[in-house]
């Protein structure tokens, strides 16, 4: 994982200052520094190229640093920005931070030896923020999956409850009907009646086996959320259950 910024965009209408910073960062510290001598040029570069950090002067004609930062904010561009400010421009620093700037430094206080520490520190904060957002997103997705699994489990359990109760009632009624029909049927038809009710009880067993398999599968998923690795094993168990049901149906 990249932990040091590679591409740095330096935006300043003072060409000599921008070139000096870019040259020092490139030759002395190994960054790939690109210059933009105005806000419009910076925006055009940001539209087409990716940068790890932007060094942005706030005071530029026509399109100021705050204008560039505002544009980045509107575009939801998350590239970390360090603002160059001047004496007496504390309000600019506050506004820049509101628009998403990570840090600021007084232009007259820029120390080329210290600048890499500032760049690296800001980039590390950016990476930490992105990692935190990623983990929070994963946690939210996990919570959503867990809620969906719980709803599925409760629904399956409720359906199974009603189906099993209905099966018990049907089995009791079937036994009563079988007893009554055996007594009412003529002797030569009693064996046929018995076979018919045996077939009905086999169908009951198929339904009961299917419901038991589904509730068991639901219980496993509910008790072990995130068991994607165990899905092949669960699939095998379901396949065996299906084969057993097919045998009962044959």
Average pLDDT in the 194-206 region?
A: 86
The predicted structure's pLDDT at residue 158: 84
What pLDDT does 54 receive? 98
- Considering Cα of 110, then 116, then 117, then 122, what sign does the dihedral take? positive
What is the distance, to the nearest Å, from the Cα of residue 126 to the centroid of all Cα atoms in its chain? 19
Tell me if 57 sits within 8 A of 107, measured CB to CB.
Answer: yes
Which of 35, 26, 102, 93 shows the shortest CA–CA distance to 59? 93
- Cα 83–Cα 85–Cα 87 angle in degrees, nearest 5: 160
Instruction: Tell me what percent of the residues of the chain surpass a pLDDT of 70.
Output: 89
pLDDT at 7 over 60: yes
B/e letters for 14-42, b = 16+ CB within 10 Å, e = fewer, are eeebbeebbebbeeebebebbbbbbbebb
Answer whether residue 170 shows pLDDT above 80.
Answer: yes
pLDDT of 248 above 70: no
SS3 48: helix
Helices (H) and strands (E) in the chain, counts: 7, 5
- The neighbour count for residue 212, using CB atoms within 10 Å, is 13
pLDDT over threshold 60, residue 228: no
Q: State how far the Cα of 104 lies from the Cα of 96, in Å rounded to an integer.
A: 8
| For residues 145-150, average pLDDT | 79
pLDDT at 79 (0 to 100): 96
Confidence of residue 229 (pLDDT cuts 50, 70, 90): low
Q: In sequence order, what are the beta bridge partners of 81? A: 54
């Amino acid at each position: 994982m990249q932990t040091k910024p590679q591409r740095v965009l330096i935006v300043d209408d003072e060409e000599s200052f921008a070139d000096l910073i870019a040259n020092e960062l490139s030759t002395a510290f190994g960054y790939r520094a690109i210059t933009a001598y105005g806000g419009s040029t910076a925006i055009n570069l940001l539209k087409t190229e990716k940068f790890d950090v932007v060094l942005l002067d706030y005071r530029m004609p026509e399109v100021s640093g705050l204008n560039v930062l505002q544009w980045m904010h509107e575009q939801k561009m998350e590239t970390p920005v360090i603002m160059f400010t001047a004496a007496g421009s504390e309000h600019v620093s506050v506004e820049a931070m509101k628009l998403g700037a990570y840090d600021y430094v007084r232009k007259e206080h820029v120390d080329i030896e210290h600048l890499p520490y500032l760049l690296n520190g800001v980039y590390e904060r950016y990476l930490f923020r992105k990692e935190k957002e990623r983990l929070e997103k994963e946690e939210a997705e996990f919570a959503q999956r867990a809620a969906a699994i719980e709803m599925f489990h409760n629904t399956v359990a409720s359906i199974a409850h009603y189906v099993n109760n209905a099966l018990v009632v049907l089995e009791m009624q079937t036994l009563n009907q079988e007893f009554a029909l055996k007594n009412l049927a003529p002797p030569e038809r009693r064996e046929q009646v018995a076979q018919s009710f045996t077939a009905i009880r086999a169908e009951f067993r198929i339904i009961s086996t299917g419901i038991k398999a589904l509730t068991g599968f639901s219980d496993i998923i509910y008790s072990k959320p995130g068991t994607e690795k165990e899905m092949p094993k669960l699939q095998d168990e379901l396949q065996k259950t299906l084969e057993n049901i097919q045998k009962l149906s044959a």
